[in-house]
Amino acid sequence: MPGALDARNRNDAVRRLAAGPLDLLVVGGGITGAGTALDAASRGLRVGLIESRDLAAGTSSRSSKLIHGGLRYLEQRDFKLVKEALRERDLFVTRLAPHLVKPVPFLYPLYKKVVERPYVGAGLVIYDAMEGTKRPVPHHRHLTARGALRRAPALRPERLAGAMVYYDAQVDDARHTLTVARTAAAHGAIVVTRASATSLLRSADGARVTGARVRDSETGRSFDVLAGCVVVCAGVWTDLVHQLGGVQAGYQVRMSKGVHLVVPRSAIDAETGLIARTDKSVLFFIPWGERWIVGTTDTDWTGDRAEPTATGADVDYILAAANRVLAKPLTRGDVIGVYAGLRPLVAAAADTPTTKLSREHVVDVPLPGLASVAGGKFTTYRLMARDVVDAAVADSPRPVPASVTDQLPLLGADGLPAVRAAAQRLAEDHAVPVAAVEHLISRYGSLAGEVLELVLADKSLGRPLLDGYPYLRAEVAYAVTHEGALHVEDVLARRIRLLIESPDAGVAAAPKVATIMGSLLGWGRRRRAQEVRGYAEFAAASCEALQSPADLPESAAPVPVPA
Ligand SMILES: Cc1cc2nc3c(=O)[nH]c(=O)nc-3n(C[C@H](O)[C@H](O)[C@H](O)COP(=O)(O)OP(=O)(O)OC[C@H]3O[C@@H](n4cnc5c(N)ncnc54)[C@H](O)[C@@H]3O)c2cc1C
């Protein structure tokens, strides 16, 4: 099956990787690395991708999950970036990933009648205009205070002067990353997770990087992978990977932590997303199925890159900021989940030549045979990938075609309307509710049928994984056979988002997940127990902030609405 990352065949993939030589070895399996592997493989190159942990285990599963131009950047007058990002947004919504990237309306409440409406309104006119004439999302609209409260009764009515409604798009970031990696595999890329670059190989004269030493953390074995170019897409680990090769790159990566809270949909009465100003930036209320994602924060981080954690103070900050605009305050009791991610921000080093392709991302070739890219946004990953592959192949002995990813729908995008139209029939044929088929289509697009095939083979897989949640047991099996999941954490944190969506962070589902995975991967009782225990520890550490003592009283008192 092209594009299936079958965890049962991982050893084959490792063997093919080690056999080399490759044109490109991509280090890092976040959205940037997955996009780079796809860009290069679809230009006909031999590509390998290694990821230390799991696909999207770094920042790419911990974002605000918006595919957006970014109103904030407009205010900073970064028109080029906003325009590029809006073009990308529209390309994903219409052609590349309509099953994954979906338009979402946001309501922007206004409190200063005279100055705010013309200011925000003018910004949104520019935002809309930058998108061009063929628009897949509606234009922004002005609302009166009454109109705003009709759409969002949750807003505090005092001093509300009106609102604007505008559109952006949202995505399940981890699923999108996985789908890009699978699409890369469908074009021939070898994708291996739980494999880290531990050093960079050099030519005899030391002038060129010729590959990387790779450690397989599943087996403990190390091997060399030879490649024409190693491409570093390691997000906040970028400086560390450069250090592995003793390389001084033209920029450094700074880490900034962003935290989000997850609350039930019923806690905030609104039919659109909300965006509210804070002292430093903005706060998003993003609809997420039966829940809201609320965030984010922006603080320096110097701790563990792999597991950034939220603190009690982060939780309280978000609650207080949210309660500036909400009539019924959110309390810690409303919070189901919390997650933290690290923004890889680039800081150019003055004394080394750097190719600054846009204000947001930086591509560098510090040594022949080594290229790297960092910064940017999830939304612009396709452009980052194109730019770093261009740089990586610039000294290639044979001509390499230009990027074609703007014409390449991701797996699951082709044939989407027909699969949507067939939902009722698929439900009948597989004896599952129509809602279950619609749920699968919203996550796998036209590949939903592959998940349903597993139900045909084993009816028990058509049952819900956990009562009250839409996920089917078949999705766990599919995560192993098609999505490269090797551990319970891979399933509950990223293939299925119970880590952030359920009050127990998915711990109740872990034994069932271990049983389904174990039956495919040959796990005995001891291994299953170990996986369940490991997941419970991981989940407890992720949610620690919700247990830590509140810096504010349990029922955070509303603070005044912005003046
Ligand atoms: C709080 C927050 C909110 C955000 N919201 C948005 C948003 O709404 N929209 C938007 O467009 N962008 C958003 N972003 C930005 C976006 O999430 C990031 O730009 C993007 O996810 C970075 O992806 P990446 O692949 O570069 O890094 P990562 O996803 O971190 O991937 C790097 C990978 O490299 C791996 N790695 C490291 N060292 C090695 C090694 N030696 N060998 C092998 N693998 C290695 C790591 O394990 C990791 O998985 C947000 C970011 C944050 C933090």
- Kindly give the distance from the C-alpha atom of residue 58 to the centroid of ligand 1, in angstroms, as a whole number: 5
Which atom from ligand 1 is nearest to the alpha carbon of 284? 8
- Kindly give the distance from the C-alpha atom of residue 62 to the centroid of ligand 1, in angstroms, as a whole number: 8
- Kindly give the distance from the C-alpha atom of residue 379 to the centroid of ligand 1, in angstroms, as a whole number: 12
- Kindly give the distance from the C-alpha atom of residue 112 to the centroid of ligand 1, in angstroms, as a whole number: 37
81 lines ligand 1 (CB under 6 A): no
pLDDT of residue 533: 98
pLDDT of residue 548: 62
- Kindly give the distance from the C-alpha atom of residue 65 to the centroid of ligand 1, in angstroms, as a whole number: 12
- Kindly give the distance from the C-alpha atom of residue 80 to the centroid of ligand 1, in angstroms, as a whole number: 22
528 lines ligand 1 (CB under 6 A): no
> How far apart are the C-alpha atoms of 259 and 548, rounded to whole Å?
15
> How far apart are the C-alpha atoms of 401 and 385, rounded to whole Å?
14
What DSSP line would sit under 379-407, residue for residue? GGHHHHHHHHHHHHTTT-SS--PPP-GGG
Output the residue whose Cα is nearest ligand 1's atom 4: 63
> How far apart are the C-alpha atoms of 238 and 228, rounded to whole Å?
19
63 lines ligand 1 (CB under 6 A): yes
Cis amide bond preceding 21, omega within 30: yes
Output the residue whose Cα is nearest ligand 1's atom 1: 258
Output the residue whose Cα is nearest ligand 1's atom 48: 58
297 lines ligand 1 (CB under 6 A): no
Within 10 angstroms of residue 506's Cβ, the number of other Cβ atoms is: 28
> How far apart are the C-alpha atoms of 148 and 520, rounded to whole Å?
51
Output the residue whose Cα is nearest ligand 1's atom 27: 235
pLDDT of residue 131: 64
* pLDDT tens per residue across all 563 residues of the chain: 689 999 999 999 999 999 989 999 999 999 999 999 999 999 999 999 999 999 999 999 999 999 988 777 666 667 777 888 899 999 999 999 999 999 999 999 998 766 566 666 667 767 677 666 667 777 788 899 999 999 999 999 998 999 999 999 999 999 999 999 999 999 999 999 999 999 999 999 999 999 999 999 999 999 999 999 999 999 999 999 999 989 888 888 888 999 999 999 999 999 999 999 888 788 999 999 999 999 999 998 989 999 899 999 999 999 999 999 999 999 999 999 999 999 998 875 544 433 333 457 899 999 999 999 999 999 999 999 999 999 999 999 899 999 999 999 999 999 999 999 999 999 999 999 999 999 999 999 999 999 999 999 999 999 999 999 999 999 999 999 999 999 999 999 999 999 999 999 999 999 999 999 999 999 999 999 999 999 999 999 988 878 765 544 443 333 333 33
342 lines ligand 1 (CB under 6 A): yes
Query: Mutation test of ligand 1: which of 317, 377, 486 has the most ligand atoms closer than 8 Å to its C-beta?
Result: 377
- Kindly give the distance from the C-alpha atom of residue 231 to the centroid of ligand 1, in angstroms, as a whole number: 15
Pick from 541, 546, 516: nearest CA to 531: 516
196 lines ligand 1 (CB under 6 A): yes
What is the maximum alpha-carbon separation in the chain?
A: 73
Tell me the pTM: 0.94
36 lines ligand 1 (CB under 6 A): no
What DSSP line would sit under 174-234, residue for residue? HHHHHHHHHHHHHTT-EEEESEEEEEEEE-TTSSSEEEEEEEETTT--EEEEEEEEEEE--
Which atom from ligand 1 is nearest to the alpha carbon of 241? 41
69 lines ligand 1 (CB under 6 A): no
- Kindly give the distance from the C-alpha atom of residue 78 to the centroid of ligand 1, in angstroms, as a whole number: 22
- Kindly give the distance from the C-alpha atom of residue 344 to the centroid of ligand 1, in angstroms, as a whole number: 7
Structure tokens at 510: 């872990």
> How far apart are the C-alpha atoms of 452 and 461, rounded to whole Å?
9
For tokens 């995008």, name the residue: 413
Query: Mutation test of ligand 1: which of 64, 93, 100, 304 has the most ligand atoms closer than 8 Å to its C-beta?
Result: 64
